[in-house]
Structures are given as C-alpha cells and as structure tokens.
Structure 1
Amino acid sequence: MTASIEFATVAKRYGSVEIIPDFSLHIAAGEFIVLLGPSGCGKSTLLRMLAGLESVSGGRIALGGQDVTELPPGRRGLAMVFQQYALYPHMTVFDNMAFGLRNLGVPEAEVHRRVQAAAAMLELDGLLQRLPGQLSGGQRQRVAIGRAVVKEPKAFLFDEPLSNLDAKLRNRTRIEIARLHKRLGATMVFVTHDQVEAMTLADRIVVMNGGRIEQLGAPMEIYQRPRTRFVAGFVGSPAMNFLPARRLPDAQGRLVVALPGDGVLHTQVPVPAALVGELQVGVRPEALRLSADGPLVGRVELIERLGERSLAHVGLADGTVVVAEVPVQRDLALGEAVRLQPDAAQVHVFDAAGLAHHAVAVQADAVLAA
C-alpha cells in the first residue's frame, strides 16, 4: 500500500512572508527521506502541507500519482507522529492505538489484529492495558508510533519525534524506527534538526536552508562532498573546521593555498575554471592530525577525552580555533605548542559564493589495487 510522494513547485506564503518559495522533490515508494535543517528552514511546514494540516500557496502535492493538494487530511491515507505524544490519558495503550481505527468503522476483529501485530513489532505486548501515565517517555513514543502503524498508511510522517527523549531513549527509538522501516518497507518522511538522526536513518537527506533545498543526496555523499559551506558546517559533529585561505600559484592543476600563519597547503582540489574572491579551506577534525612539520601552528586550549577518541581544540595565532582528532594515547598538555597537518585528500575549498570545490575522488580500482 506504500506510495510515492511528489512535491511539484510547492510554495507557502503567510501574507507577504514567503516561507517556501519553490520546492520540488520526488520520493520513491518505500524510501526513507529525512528533511534536515535548522529551525525556521521550512521542513515542518512541508510536512504539514503533505499531511493536509497546512494549505498550499502554490504548486501541487501527489501521493501515489494522485493529486492530494486539496484533499482533507483524513482522506490522504497518511499517518503522522508528532514531537508531542498526544495520547489520551484516560485510555489504555490498546485503546489509544485502536481509537483511530474505531472512528473509521473498522471491524473490531480487524482492530484487534492490527493492534496486536503493531504491539508485538514495537515490544508493547505487555503494556496494552496500562495507561499512558504508567509508561516511560520512550514507551509513550512507541505507542504514538504504534497508533500510526495500525492505520497501514501509504506513508509515515515523523515531525521531530525524538526531541523529547533523553539521549539513551533517543538512540533506542531511532533504532526501532529504522527496524520498523525495514520490516514494513513503507515510505517515510522524517523531519529533524539533528544530523545524527538524519545520517543514521535516511536513504537520502534533504538539507534545507531558507525554504530551499541546499543539497539532496545519500548520507555519506553529503558528509564527504557537501555542496556548499552551509551544508559542510551543518552536517558533522564536531563541525567542520573553516580556515581563511589565500590562493598561491597552482601546482600541477591543483590549488595551493596559504593558511593562517602563512603555512602552505598543497590540496588535491582541481583548479576551477573561475575562482575569484576570498577562499576558505574546510577540513573535518578526523582529517586534521598532529605532525611535526604541519602548516598550522597553535597551542592546545582544551582536550575532549571521549573514550574511543580524543579531540584537541587548538588556538592558532590569528585567533581561529580548530578541532583535531588526536590519538587517545597521546598525552597533550594545555598550552602545549603543536603543529597540525590537514589530509590533502579530504580538504574542501569554498569560494566567495560559498560553493564547495572538492579533492579528486579516489577511483574504486585504485582503492582495490592499494
């Protein structure tokens, strides 16, 4: 029963304020799409327009090839899970999950079959006679998800469903949602500002900024080859380091830049046809390592010891602070002078317009031959 979703030049305005100017996206049947972006970027508005909870100012929305732009929410065949659980406190878990089906006149035997099946899938079997007040936050969220599952919708819509959970429950529920998608093979659209949720759940991520798609792609594609400085800075934890850079004469068709402190970096980034204005070099912490002759010179300001890895916050002479992943066995002291070497194959260069220029991709046959 799962269906594809199509946004075709969809727009949303509140009076003279334009929230979403022109949004187009095709979601394949059975695909898990995550809308990722900061607060106010329009991701929840898109989800609510898809659900029929917000009107569309322009364009059309299709579900399984059917235009549903003007259909009321109850006739779209969608199920939505909100940030707030919205459970009826006086009803048992069973009745909360069955409520929507009973309103639709589904036969009681079928109601019992669907609720029991969803409860087994979500490990709620032993909780069906409890009231919401007797449940933990994670259990209440699973009931809210179960209430959506029993509807057997064409697609599931999730609006930041994990935001109210603590870190441990958030991790567990994220895994449960991933397993649910695998079991059902259903179309899922998930809204979040949490890039960890996006990276672990999505088939494709839609990174949004100002009501527009900043980049669309598979999680690792977005992480390894961000299209813009905005994407590079938003996706990744810790965030990518950004350094002002000055272009030097190119070498063998690759960009060479001067970094803060006048250290020279030979990148693997091909020289673009046109590259003007100020440049920035972007390098992730795992691609920045301690080196006796590295081009970046600074002093250790903070060490984050995270068990499996350590992160050194290093202040450079110009005041820029960069984060580098360092060996856990290396005992750095606060104030210690260090030199850092970016991995040239993982360096990104951003032009004045914020567009990214990447190192040459490693060919698969070269990797196999290594």
Structure 2
Amino acid sequence: MPSSPSRRPRARHAAPAQHDAAALARGTARAVAVPAVIAAVATASAPGWTSYRVQPGETLSGIATRSGTSVDALVRANGLPAGGGYVRAGEVVQVPSGGPARRAATAPARPATHTVRAGDTLWGIARERGTTVGALVAANRLRSNTLQPGQVLRLGAGARAAAPAAAPASAAPRASGGPSHTVRAGDTLWSVARAHGTTVTALRRANGLGGDTIRPGQVLRLGAGGQAAPRQESATTFAGRTYPDDVVAAAARNRAALESAGVPSRDAVRDLIASTARSYGVDPALALAVSWQETGFQHDKVSVANAVGAMQVIPATGTWMSGVVGRDLDLLDPRDNATAGVALLRLLLSQARSEAEAVAGYYQGLTSVRERGMHADTELYVRNVLALKQRFS
C-alpha cells in the first residue's frame, strides 16, 4: 500500500454542493461486530438439529466452528448458496443440537471485568467477551470509545472469558533453486514484485501462474532478476516514505486489535464489499478490484500509514466518510470499513473526470493527482485496478 500521508483525500476536499446524503445513507445499517453468539429460538427443527438466530457480526464459518460442524453441512441444511456467503443478523439457521447452547450451559463462571491492554478497542473487547459495544458503553457509562491501558471495564451479564491464544503457525517451506518469497496475508503479485525488484510478468513465468491469485503460505520463486530479500526499511518507513511515530503506533494498535478479535473470511469480505457497492450505486467490480489490489480481501491488514482493513481507509478519511453517510463509522468493523471505502469511491467517481482519475484519487488523493499528476506507483496502481475490474465484471 505505497502512499504518502496525503495519499487519501482528506476533509479539505469539498463534497459536491448538492451531495445526496440520503442516498448514501441507504448503504448499510450500522453493524457492530461481536463474537459468535447465537440465541436459540423456538421453531421446528429436523431431528438432531435446532434453530438459532444469528447475531450482529456472526459469520457462517463462526457458527460452524461453535456448532462442531462444517460450513458445507450448514449450507446443505439451510439451503444456502454454495460457499455460504455472509449471513445476516436476525436470520434463523439450523445447527446441530448440543453445539453452542450445550457448551454455554456447562461453561464455567465468567469474569465480570476486563483490564484494558495496549491495542484494545471496545469492538475487540466486545467480540472477545461475547457482548456488544453498546452493553460495554452502558455498563461503564462511557462517553467515548477511547480506552486507556490498565483501565478496568465491567462486562455485565453474559460476557465470557477471553479465548486462549492460538498456537503459532509453523514456518512455511522454502522453495529450492534460487531466491524465493513466502506469501503473507494481503500480498499481491504486484506488491511482491515491487518489494523484490522484479515484475509481475517475471513472477508469473517463474512460477507457472495462469493468473494473479496467490495464497498466504505459498512460496514463490523470484527468478534470476529477483532480490533474495526486500530492501530493509525502518519501522516507520514503507516504499521510501516515512510516517510519524504516532501514526505508526496507532497502526500497530489497530493491527493488534484486528488480530486479537478475528475477522471474516476472504469470501465473506468479498460478498460484503460487493453488496455494499450495489447498495451505494457503485460498480461492485470496481470496489472489489480496489480491495483486492489493496489487501486481497484481508480485513486484518493495517499499513504503516494506518490505512485500516480490507478497503485500507485511514482514520481521517473514515471521519470524513462518517459525515458523508451520516453516522459514525468504525474502520475496524468489516461492514463499516466496506461502507467507508465504497462511499469514498462513490464520491471520487462523482468528482473525478474519469474512472482512472477516481482510482488514482483513492490511492494518491484527488487534489494531489490534479496538482502534481499521477506518481509512477499511482499509474501502476490504476492499471492494476482497472485490469482487476475486468476480471471481477
């Protein structure tokens, strides 16, 4: 996500005078991401199965995990489209009897408080402890979302103990025969090529790739021209641009919050972005192309510039888009992140002279593009996004 601190349009960019705020506000309802908690409802069920109502922020994969079954089994039992998609809060789904309900009934007593750690957010704590942001705000009489390390929060009834930490992943195998790169979450062929001094075409040829899809853990051969390791940069620098310490620290806190809270799958994020784009009147193929170029649909991605989530929105732009859509947006929330990115795209498309200029504005900032022209990396970004749009169309 190479950019300068001014890469995103800031609030100084005036919105159109007759901006259709009502139309934008129709995008998505406020959704607070919370843990996989499903409330039982009294409806008829098949033998061995029972009905549960999906809570805000729940995903089908989360339901499957807590129910001791698979996504495919839930898809078949509920007549859902292949892959499951992004289930909606309030939907009633069939799950195996004795899953989350039985575990909840036999769970040990839960602690009544949570001590805030560095990087904690209300959203992350709510998700971790099986409660909601609204419940935390009410239980602690909070006037804002700001938390301080060491602060003790009352959790209220129904909250649960923190989940145990996941075991560290084993190291990925190395490719033989020359320098290689192990794909990390959010990597794209373009970002790998730039980091290692090679080209997308060379990477495709060296690895026999028929397209641009790569997966975390995959080992890519870099070819004869690739550098064995990218140029070392400081913790405040990315792609030759240095960011202030407070920005880097805020990015680290957001990254830790997303890692501890858990995020939807790539498929769920893709479905969420596409549905949000349709509701805002933005071509879903364009919104998907931007997100794939930015993060590969990885919502846990946070750049050193503190661009957050699947749509890589910085906090200043998030605040701006909150005003545009008429409600507060939490960039850590997958739905709000999609809303902020899609709303920004819609606004840029209404102000730019072409789709290419709008895409450049998303990356570099529209004022910067008009005053200075596209940077070399912006030109490559625009070409990639427009090519990806054709794939997603």
Tell me which interval the TM-score lies in, with the shorter structure as reference length.
under 0.3
Larger Rg: 1
Tell which has more relative contact order, 1 or 2 (C-alpha 8 A, sep 6+): 2
| Structure having the larger proportion of residues in helix | 2
- TM-score normalised according to structure 1 size: 0.27
TM-score by length of 2: 0.26
